[in-house]
A and B are shown apart, each in its own frame.
Chain A
Amino acid sequence: MATDTGEESAVYIYGIVPADVETEPDARGVGDPPAEVTTVRHGKVAALVSPIIRGGSLGRPQDLTAHAALLDAAAAEVPVLPVRFGAVMTDEESVAEELLGAHHDDFVAALDEMEGKAEYVIKGRYVESAVLHEILAENEELAQLREAIRGKPEDASRNERIALGEQINNAIAAKRDADTWTVLEELTALGFVVNAREPTHEEDAVHVACLAETAKQGDLEAALDRRAQQWEGRVQLRLLGPLAAYDFVVTQRPGE
């Protein structure tokens, strides 16, 4: 496709797909206005790309969601190796030669592994009142500390309050570890590949990425439904996906 190859333009890269993948004419990506997404092919692989103004800034919410939406839509249909947000190369020739050409066989092997699979992300958030009740019920010392603080002026009890809060934070972290383990075990038992993520909120209960055959999405949903029902009122469980397999691609793959 005709891409502006003037001095001011560079090429933004979304991900790697098999060479026979076609982009929709209305596929749009990052930029303002959103740029048309096309492919650069080399051998059996292709990069999903769009032109981008050199020197422009990137990272508006629309840019982030455009990057993710494009790759996730692709991942539901074809194997995709997602590239981290913000990758830019000088022109299409360098994409073809220095990216696709230089890593051609690795990309082919990785795309083969990704065939029929997609990533799913499981996020659980504690229901605050429920988890706090649980912690106080399990920890007499904390319950006493709480009683000691109640009724004192805020200023006078600042240090005690900090100590109480820190212990609660630690108790939640311990619960998070245990609950994450529970989910990892259940997904592994179903034959899915899992990858625990770092929590992104202090009340996160579970944050796990899972690589699963899209044909088995129903099994995954059923398992998480059961888990959500067992945790009802305690943890709000969400399932995202199918997504591109961000958590399961590595930059340097050993050649096979």
Chain B
Amino acid sequence: MTTAVQPAGGGGGVQRPSASALADVIDTILDKGLVIDAYVRVSLVGIELVTIDARVVVASVDTYLRFAEAVNRLDISEKQKGLPDLLEDMNQGGAKAKTKGVLEAAGETLRNLLGEDERERARRPEGR
């Protein structure tokens, strides 16, 4: 499935996703925008913590090991995509209009899954 949405470096130009992917939405609406007093006055909103986890980007030993591994593999995968970066592929699912051979429905499914995968990525320390 991941190969289906590879950009193959071709086409050029900036990608214009037709709809915002969940990851993009999370980046934007959870810590930006007006904050009103209501936050402290009404404590009804229980934003699920798992959703917020998806935003966490921490450079850690696991990140370093992943980079080391990616560098080690560089020669043998010279012409290919370095790592099957699921998240990136998911994001490109949002840019399906620009990508040849991608089923519309597949893009939708990918977007729906995005939250799950990012969450896993943030939580699972061993990475890949």
Contacts and interface: CB of A to CB of B under 8 A. Distances in A.
A104 interface: no
B15 A200 contact: no
B37 interface: yes
B38 to A, nearest CB: 4
Interface string A115-138: 000000111010111001100100
A17 interface: no
B16 to A, nearest CB: 6
A136 B71 contact: yes
B32 interface: yes
Interface string A36-72: 0000000000000000101111111100110111011
A32 interface: no
B74 to A, nearest CB: 6
Contacts of B61: 162
Interface residues of B, number: 66
B101 interface: no
A188 interface: no
Contacts of B25: 64-65, 67-68
Contacts of A216: none
B63 A202 contact: yes
Contact of A132 (B33, B82, B85): B82
A58 B30 CA distance: 12
Interface residues of A, number: 82
B22 A65 contact: yes
Contacts of B78: 129
Contact of B81 (A55, A129, A228): A129
A211 interface: no
Interface in A185-229: 197, 199-203, 207, 221, 224-225, 227-229
A228 B50 CA distance: 34
A202 B115 CA distance: 18
A59 B52 CA distance: 9
B59 A169 contact: yes
A65 B45 contact: no
Nearest to B74: A132
Interface in A237-255: 237-240, 243-244, 246-247, 249-251
Contacts of A197: 27
Contact of A240 (B17, B29, B83): B17
Given A162-B64, A168-B68, A169-B59, 14 more contacts: A10-B44, A59-B48, A64-B29, A87-B36, A127-B82, A129-B77, A166-B64, A168-B64, A197-B27, A202-B57, A202-B63, A236-B88, A240-B20, A246-B32
12 contacts: A13-B36, A13-B38, A64-B29, A65-B25, A84-B29, A89-B41, A90-B42, A123-B24, A125-B91, A149-B68, A163-B64, A232-B12
